Amino acid sequence: MKPKLINEELRRRLRMVDLRMKESSRNLYVIFSMDCERIANESPEGEGPRSWEIGGEAISRFSEILSNEGFRAVFFIQPETAERYAGLFLKLKDKGFELGLHIHPGNFRDHSFKKYLGSYSPDEQHHILSLAISDWRKALGFEPKSFRAGFFSTNDYTYKILYELGFRQSSTSKPNRTFRRSMLPGLEHIRMDITLIQIIGLYLEH
């Protein structure tokens, strides 16, 4: 989708949120987020923007549109992306945007990690996440408290490890997520039965 169409669609959805807030006597909670990926030719595990220039423009326009409507968002940022756009992200933090860690092991550092995060043992996950936190902190000057795994990949040990490493909120679970066969060649659709609810989207207070 072209940037102009994306901007128009985002504005349309924001108008819908505003209308629902006016029509409802209940509170409407809205959470916006963006995964800030490494560029495509450096991301074998998952595609990012075609160039750093396009990625920076997307982050700037997304935050600008939300700010103009009175909203803020969470940016889940890969360490390499944090380094690339450090100045921009720190300005957004000063405006009230949340900055969190995003990690695709296969896209991290020299691409020596070949599996999704949830495929690793507890010790391996702790090691990968510790490295990612260190790189992220060097880029932005503080440690992240929010986290999202690439492709929502976790296992039974991940949340305990995240807590031990200082994270206090995560947007990592997505119940009944179904992977496309193109993502897992040769396999049928795999259903992810996860009990924790992904905290993303629009929710009405009951």
CATH of the domain at 138: 3.20.20.370
Task: Please write the tens of the pLDDT for every residue from 69-93.
Answer: 889 999 999 999 999 999 999 999 9
Model pLDDT, residue 47: 75
In a domain, 138, yes or no: yes
Tens of pLDDT along 30-65? 789 999 999 999 999 977 999 999 999 999 999 999
Domain range enclosing 38? 31-204
Domain annotation covers residue 7: no
d(CA 97, CA 90): 9
Q: What gap in Å lies between CA 195 and CA 100, rounded to an integer?
A: 22
Determine, yes or no, domain membership for 20: no
In a domain, 10, yes or no: no
The model's pTM is 0.78
Does 8 fall in a domain?
Answer: no
- Name the residue with higher pLDDT: 31 or 11: 31
* Amino acid of residue 107: N
Q: Is residue 14 part of a domain?
A: no
- Mutual angle of helices 86-94 and 52-68, in 10-degree steps: 10
How many CB atoms neighbour CB 29 within 10 A? 11
Number of domains in the chain: 1
In a domain, 75, yes or no: yes
DSSP class per residue in 32-92: EEEEEPPPGGG-SSS---SSHHHHHHHHHHHHHHHHHTT--EEEEE-HHHHHHTHHHHHHH
The dihedral built from the CA positions of residue 166, 169, 175 and 179, taken in this order, carries a sign that is negative
User: What is the number of other CB atoms lying within 10 angstroms of the CB of residue 84?
Assistant: 19
Domain-located, residue 24: no
Question: Tens of pLDDT along 159-171?
Answer: 999 999 999 999 8
pLDDT computed for residue 29 by the predictor: 74
- Other Cβ atoms less than 10 A from the Cβ of 55: the count is 20
108, 78 contact by CB (below 8 A)? yes
Identity of the residue numbered 78: Q
